[in-house]
Homo-oligomer: A and B are copies of this chain.
Amino acid sequence: MVSTPTVIDEQTIRHSLAFGDEVIGVIARAFRELSDPSAHIQIPPIMQITVPGRDGLTCIKSSYNESDSIFAVKLASTYGGNRKEGLPTASGAMLVCSAVTGEVLSVLLDNGYLTALRTQAAGAVAVDLLANEDAHRVTVIGSGRQARLQLMAACHVRHIRHASVWSNDAEGATAFADDMASALAIPVEASGDPKQSALMSDILITATPSRAPIVHDDWLAPGVTVLSMGADAPGKSEIGSEVFPLLDRYVCDLASQCRQCSDLGNALRDGTIDGRYPVNELGDVLAGRAEGRTDPDQIVLADLTGVGVQDTAIAARAREKCETCV
């Protein structure tokens, strides 16, 4: 008889694993393994269910590193329609499986917490790797949960002294500014002119569900690091195609995936760039196999779409940490 899986609830997971250097290290290692040419990692295409009437998208991701004894399957949902009922838009769960017997070892009822956490950590990895050391002004586009987490992530890896936020939800932007100013103890203003804010920023974060470009070529000052988190599925868009030829460096989480479903894919499809466009993976830059920023004035885009290796890595660590507490 196979053993019964351990079921771990959100509260236990939250108590066991919070944002910080440990999680950032776990995710950085996952990216290095992902891009390592000697690693054998299976990353099946993302499975999706869409519920347009509820602005709903459920994504199932997985990855298996053939040198590991476990793998995870992660379900994460974002239902924009929940907002008007006061429900969280994000939810989900993860299954951790044995790669020896196939059996489900643990069910992590994280309600999307681990997805938010590994996404936040990926942003921290990218900003730490690519932003100028003295970066201190941030503009955030978007006012939702991940926009907040990404500002916190930037503040964790750089000494940020000022932040601006813009959202098409003006009330959301005001609430973001109030909440984050008190959480981070820095001035955070809701911006009336996001382009002007962006031009004054060292780091520009986009974390929206937008389906049309927001950031254009005249938004980018020399030295800026753009972190695009939102364009993670076909049809989504945050960065205008015309931005790509201007970039000094384009770094993404998984090249094959970004060519399909991020703004890189949009720029390739509309012909602004072609197959020769230099695409670097975060893991290659982390491992020194590719260059990141080499000059303080370079304009660098980090394009993160979310990869199953992050889910397997965070699920494995959460399970380890919870084992002592369930």
Contacts and interface: CB of A to CB of B under 8 A. Distances in A.
A104 B79 contact: no
Contacts of A60: 44, 47, 60, 62, 73
A48 B308 CA distance: 13
Interface stretch (A92-100, A120-128, A222-230, A318-326): A92-100
Interface stretch (A51-59, A138-146, A177-185, A255-263): A51-59
B58 A49 contact: no
A27 to B, nearest CB: 21
A108 to B, nearest CB: 10
Nearest to A53: B66
Contacts of A47: 44-45, 47, 60, 62, 73
Interface stretch (A4-12, A31-39, A269-277): A4-12
A208 interface: no
A87 B7 contact: no
A2 B91 contact: yes
A197 interface: no
A48 B58 contact: no
Nearest to A47: B44
B102 A93 contact: no
A191 interface: no
Given A45-B47, A75-B95, A2 B111 contact: yes
Interface string A87-120: 1100111010101111110010101000000000
A46 B88 CA distance: 29
Contacts of A71: 49, 58
A189 B92 CA distance: 49
A127 B18 CA distance: 54
A107 B91 contact: no
A77 interface: yes
Interface of A: 1-2, 4-5, 7, 9-10, 42, 44-45, 47-51, 54, 56, 58, 60, 62, 64, 66, 71, 73, 75, 77-79, 81-82, 85, 87-88, 91-93, 95, 97, 99-104, 107, 109, 111
